[in-house]
Every structure is written in C-alpha cells, then in structure tokens.
Amino acid sequence: MNIYTELGVSIMVQSVDFAAIQPPLDVPSAHPCRLKIQIIGSLQVRRGDVVLDARQLGGPKPRQILELLLLQLGRPVSKDRLIERLWGGHQPAEALSTLESYVSVLRRHIQPGARKAGPLRTVTGGYVMDKELVDLDLDHFASQISAAHRCTEPSAAYELLCSALLLNHSPLLGDELQPTWADEARADHAARVADAFVLAAETAAFLGRANESVSWAKQALAADQLNERAWTALILGLEQNSQFAEGLLCYEQCRLTFARELGCTPGTVLLDAYARLLRATAAGENELGPLLSALLVLHRQLTQRSNPEASGMLHSNFSARSALLDAADVTEATKIIHSFLIRAVPAA
C-alpha cells in the first residue's frame, strides 16, 4: 500500500497485481485459437505451445466426436449422425443431451475460453470443425494429391506427391481400433494412398528416376498385391533400370498371384513387358542369358514334337541361340542347364 501526499491531503493507493487477474474460463476470446491436428497415426492436437494427445481430450467419446468431425473437416455433421456413429444403434436414453455434454467437455479441452467461437462450431442440428481454424494433416494430404493431379508439369507434380506421401507414416486414426467407422475411414484412406504410390511410381519413371519408381511401386504392392497398376509400375521400373532378371521374377510372382486370387492372367502391358524382359535377358552377358536361351531351346524342342507347324512361329524374336534346332543345340542346352543346377542346388 502506497501513501501519496498532495496539497496536504493523504491518499492511500492499493497496489494491484494485474498479472494475477485471469479472465474467466468461459469468456469468449476475441481471436479464436488455431489448431494443428494430426490424425494420420496417433491423434495429436497442438494449440500454440500446448500439445494434447488422445488421452487428454476428456475421454473416449469426446475424442471420437473430434475425430468424426475432422473426417468431415469444414462440413457439418448432424447430431443424429454423431449419435449413430458413437453408439452404433445402442445409444443411451438421453443420447442427445449426453452428446451435447461430451461436446462441451471437448470444447473445454481444445478451445478453452473460446466457448462456441473456437474451431468447434455449432450449426443447425449439428457441429462442424471450422476449416479456417484447423490445420489437419489428412486435409493437407488430400490437397497435395489433388494439386498433383491438376499439375501439368511432371516434376512439380512429383514433388507434390512425395510431399503428400511423407505424411503417411502410419495408418489413419491409430488410436481407434474398434469402431467400424474408423475401419471404413482407414480403408478409404489406404486406397487413396495406394493410388498415390502408383502415381508417384509412374511419374518417377517418366522423369527417369527408375530406383524411386521401383521403391514407390513396392510400397503400393505392400498394401495391395492385386493392384495391377502397381505391378506394371514395378516391372517397367525394373526394366528401365536394366534389372531384367528381377523384372522376370516379379512378373512370375504377379502371374501366380493373379492366377491364385483372381483366376486370370496379367494384362497386355505386362505381357509385352514380359516379352521384352525375356529378350533382354536372353541377349545379356550375364549368366542368366545363356540359361534362359537354353530353356527356350528345350521349350522349342518340345513344341516341335507336339506341334511342328506352330513351332516356326514361336520365339521368332529371340536371339540365334534359340533358332532352328539340331542335336548339337539340344545337347548344349542340356549341358548349360545341368551345369547351372549343379552349382545352384547343393549336393544331397
């Protein structure tokens, strides 16, 4: 307490610690907070210097409300839809009031002091996460993929694809393992990611980056072994990189997978690639070239025996080692294959 004297009058002034005065929690903020949120992998909400994880949002139901709204970022979600998603047809008697109380809990955690003026807004019959106040990794992924599709410059499109795919370090909604809606969202997102992997592989091949093309294609196939575009990108990338033997092995794996799972064979593009890989391998300087040529010689021998008229049309594009046969050709082919087997298969 300070005492001032002016004109003979004593005035007592009470010292006030203004820093200790805090605004009430429910006073709306003049400037709504902006959130940076990650839902690819584990949920994380960043509000300035404050970082909240899935356990710090008021419980499972408030967390799931946030996730459901984020999956529809910028688009209203009705209360009825939220109730159906949260309880799956087994909602409590007071589901509406319970939902509203959960929303209040969520607001206190993600936008304290903002009340209804923060990113989580109330709309007629539902709620919405304001896209202008939320930076969401899933939204960035979708935006970059869309921009890549619109881009007319391959190198710029490739940069966008690479940037988008770097965001996908983990499955979507990693904290939600039970709800059906989370499984559905994960499956939809995984399909979009696989398409992006394939497009990145195709674009890398166009730019002459064969190693990168092969890497992207393998990541697409890790998610879906029946993706023919991914197999095509992989095999064409290996061909572009002069990895002919590896390309043949991948083609055989593709053929077996399609036969077993789909009851069909690879399409024309892959068949054409297979033929080119065979020709390149047979004409190569490595050990596999003579071996493949020897196999083609013996195959032609079998064809001549079973269908002499057709034999002249087979393997017409291969090297002279697989031309018209005589006994010496067959003998030499047999020796090559026998020698390879002796070295490749350990003695019993």
Instruction: Judge whether 47 and 35 are in contact, CB under 8 Å.
Output: yes
Residue 247's pLDDT is 93
Instruction: Judge whether 94 and 12 are in contact, CB under 8 Å.
Output: no
Sheet of 35-38, strands arranged across: 50-53, 44-47, 35-38, 134-136
Residue 97's pLDDT is 96
Sign of CA dihedral 112, 100, 35, 190: positive
- Which ranges constitute the DSSP H helices of 18-78? 60-71
Sequence spans of domains, the chain: 50-134, 138-263, 288-344
Q: Could you read off the pLDDT tens digit of each residue along the chain, which spans 348 residues?
A: 555 444 444 444 444 443 333 333 444 444 568 999 999 999 999 999 999 999 999 999 999 999 999 999 999 999 999 999 999 888 899 999 999 999 999 999 999 987 778 999 999 999 999 999 999 999 999 999 999 999 999 999 999 999 999 999 899 999 998 899 999 999 999 999 999 999 999 999 999 999 999 999 999 999 999 999 999 999 999 999 999 989 998 999 999 999 999 999 999 999 999 889 888 877 766 666 677 767 666 766 676 666 655 444 444 443 444 444 467 777 877 877 777 677 777 754
How many other CB atoms are found less than 10 A from the CB of residue 267? 13
Topology annotation, domain 50-134: Arc Repressor Mutant, subunit A (1.10.10)
d(CA 176, CA 137): 17
Residue 337's pLDDT is 72
Q: Which helix (H) or strand (E) holds 13?
A: strand 9-13
Residue 31's pLDDT is 59
**Side chain identity, residue 332:** E
Instruction: Judge whether 197 and 216 are in contact, CB under 8 Å.
Output: yes
Q: Which helix (H) or strand (E) holds 2?
A: strand 2-6
Q: Which class is 138-263 in CATH?
A: mainly alpha
Instruction: Judge whether 65 and 19 are in contact, CB under 8 Å.
Output: no
d(CA 118, CA 223): 38
